[in-house]
A and B are shown apart, each in its own frame.
Chain A
Amino acid sequence: MELHINGKTYSVQSEGDTPLLWVIRDELGLTGTKYGCGIAQCGACSVLVDGEVMRSCVTPVEGVKGRNITTIEGVEEDPIGQRVVAAWVEHQVPQCGYCQSGQVMAATSLLKQTPQPSEAQIAASMTNLCRCGTYNAISAAVQDLAGGGPSAAAEKARMQAATAANGRGMRS
Chain B
Amino acid sequence: MSQSTDINGHNETFPTDETPTNISRRRFLLASAGVAAGALVLGFGLPLDTARARGATAAAGSPPRVPAFLEIRPDGGIRLQSPFNEGGQGIFTAMAQIVGEELDADPTHFLVENAPPGKQYTVMSNGMRITGGSMSVRFGYTAMRRIGALARMMLLQAAAHQWGIAVGELTTEPGRVIHKASGKSLDYGQLAPHAMALAVPDADSVKLKDPGQFRWIGKPVKRVDVYDKSTGRVEYTIDTRVDGMLQAAVQHAPRLGMTVGRIRNEAQIKAMKGVHSVHILDGAVAVVAERWWNAKRAAETAQVDWQEPKPDPSARHMPTDFSTKSYREHLANASGDGETAESKGHVGDALKGAQTVVNATYSSQYVHHAQLEPPSALAHFHDDGTLEIWLPNQAPDMFLADIAKRAGVDADKIILHSPMLGGFFGRHFLYGPGNPYMQAVQLAKATGRPIKLIWSREEEFLRDPMRPMAVVKFRGGLDANGMPVALEAISATEGPTEGIANQRSKKKVDDSAVEGLTGKAYAIPNRRIAQLYVKTPAMLAYWRSVGHSMNDFLYETFLDELADKGGQDPFELRMKLLKGNQRLTHLLQAVAELAGGWKRGPFTAADGSRRARGVAMASPFGSQTAAIAEVSLENGQVRVHDIWQAVDPGSIVNPAIIDAQVAGATALGLSEVLLEEAVYENGQPRARNYDMYPILPPDRMPKVHARIVESGAKMGGIGEPPLPATPPAVANAVSHLTGQRIRSMPLSQYDFSA
Contact = CB atoms under 8 A, between A and B. Distances in A.
Contact of B663 (A34, A42, A94, A133): A133
17 contacts: A14-B291, A37-B457, A38-B689, A41-B689, A71-B232, A96-B373, A98-B373, A130-B698, A131-B371, A131-B668, A135-B667, A136-B703, A165-B77, A167-B77, A169-B225, A170-B225, A170-B234
A92 B660 contact: yes
Nearest to A133: B667
A167 B111 contact: yes
Interface in B163-202: none
Given A135-B701, A139-B698, A169 B372 contact: no
B69 interface: no
Interface string B670-701: 00000000000000000001110001111101
Contact of A170 (B111, B273, B656): B111
B238 A35 contact: yes
Given A127-B698, A132-B664, A172 B230 contact: no
Contacts of B423: 96, 98, 131-132
Interface in A12-65: 14-15, 18-19, 22, 25-27, 29, 31-39, 41-42, 44
A133 B230 contact: no
B77 A172 contact: no
A165 B273 CA distance: 48
A136 B372 contact: no
Contacts of A134: 660, 663-664
A15 to B, nearest CB: 7
Interface of B: 75-77, 86-90, 92, 108-114, 222-236, 238-239, 241, 247, 273, 291-293, 370-374, 419-425, 454, 456-458, 656, 660, 663-668, 689-691, 695-699, 701, 703-704
B679 to A, nearest CB: 18
Given A88-B226, A97-B88, A135-B667, A172 B419 contact: yes
Given A166-B111, A172-B419, A129 B697 contact: yes
Given A137-B660, A166-B111, 17 more contacts: A14-B293, A26-B293, A35-B374, A85-B231, A88-B226, A92-B226, A94-B226, A95-B660, A97-B230, A98-B371, A131-B372, A131-B695, A133-B667, A135-B667, A135-B701, A167-B111, A172-B234
A39 B692 CA distance: 12
A99 interface: yes
Contacts of A44: 372
A2 interface: no
A88 to B, nearest CB: 4
A131 B373 CA distance: 10
A96 B87 contact: yes
A132 B110 CA distance: 24
A159 interface: yes
A172 B454 CA distance: 19
Interface of A: 14-15, 18-19, 22, 25-27, 29, 31-39, 41-42, 44, 71-73, 75-76, 85, 88-89, 92-101, 104, 123, 126-139, 159, 162-163, 165-172
Contacts of B690: 37, 39, 41-42, 129
B229 A138 contact: no
Most buried by B among A18, A95, A104: A95
A3 B519 CA distance: 60
A126 B699 CA distance: 9
Contacts of B292: 22, 26
A133 B696 contact: yes
A101 B690 CA distance: 19
Nearest to B292: A26
A96 B422 contact: yes
B664 A34 contact: no
B226 A72 contact: no
Given A32-B231, A93-B226, A96-B88, A129 B372 contact: yes
Contacts of A75: 231
B291 A170 contact: no
B698 A95 contact: no
A164 B454 CA distance: 36
Contacts of B656: 92
A138 B698 contact: yes
A89 B225 CA distance: 10
A97 B222 CA distance: 15
Contact of B228 (A27, A71, A169): A169
Contacts of A137: 660, 663
Contacts of B230: 85, 88-89, 93-94, 97, 100, 104
A170 B232 contact: no
Given A22-B291, A26-B247, A96-B422, A131 B370 contact: yes
A139 B691 CA distance: 23
The 4 A-B pairs at the shortest CB distance, nearest first, are namely A32-B232, A133-B667, A97-B229, A96-B88
Contact of B695 (A89, A94, A129, A159): A129
A95 B111 contact: no
Given A26-B291, A39-B691, A123 B699 contact: yes
Given A89-B230, A131-B370, A98 B667 contact: no
B518 to A, nearest CB: 27
Contact of A172 (B236, B457, B689): B236
Most buried by A among B77, B90, B226: B226
Contact of B114 (A22, A32, A85, A172): A172
A37 B689 contact: yes
B667 A97 contact: no
B236 A98 contact: yes
Contacts of A41: 689-691
A69 B235 CA distance: 22
Contacts of A34: 238, 372-373, 422
Given A29-B241, A172-B235, A38 B456 contact: yes
A94 B229 contact: yes
A29 B76 CA distance: 33
Contacts of B114: 172
Contacts of A163: 227
B676 to A, nearest CB: 11
A89 B230 CA distance: 7
Contacts of B422: 34, 96-98
A100 B225 CA distance: 12
Nearest to A104: B230
B425 A131 contact: yes
A90 to B, nearest CB: 9
Contacts of A171: 111, 113
Contact of A36 (B113, B233, B457): B457
Contacts of A126: 698
A69 B346 CA distance: 70
A31 B666 contact: no
Given A75-B231, A132-B664, A162 B372 contact: no
Contacts of B419: 172
A136 B668 CA distance: 13
B626 to A, nearest CB: 19
A144 to B, nearest CB: 14
Contact of B227 (A37, A138, A169, A172): A169
A104 B699 CA distance: 18
Contacts of B273: 15
A37 B665 CA distance: 22
Contact of A89 (B77, B227, B456, B664): B227
Contact of B76 (A18, A97, A98, A165): A165
B181 to A, nearest CB: 29
B663 A31 contact: no
A22 B297 CA distance: 12
A133 B689 CA distance: 19
A31 B664 contact: no
A42 to B, nearest CB: 6
Contact of A166 (B109, B113, B424, B454): B109
B188 to A, nearest CB: 12
B21 to A, nearest CB: 24
B666 A159 contact: no
Contacts of A136: 663, 701, 703-704
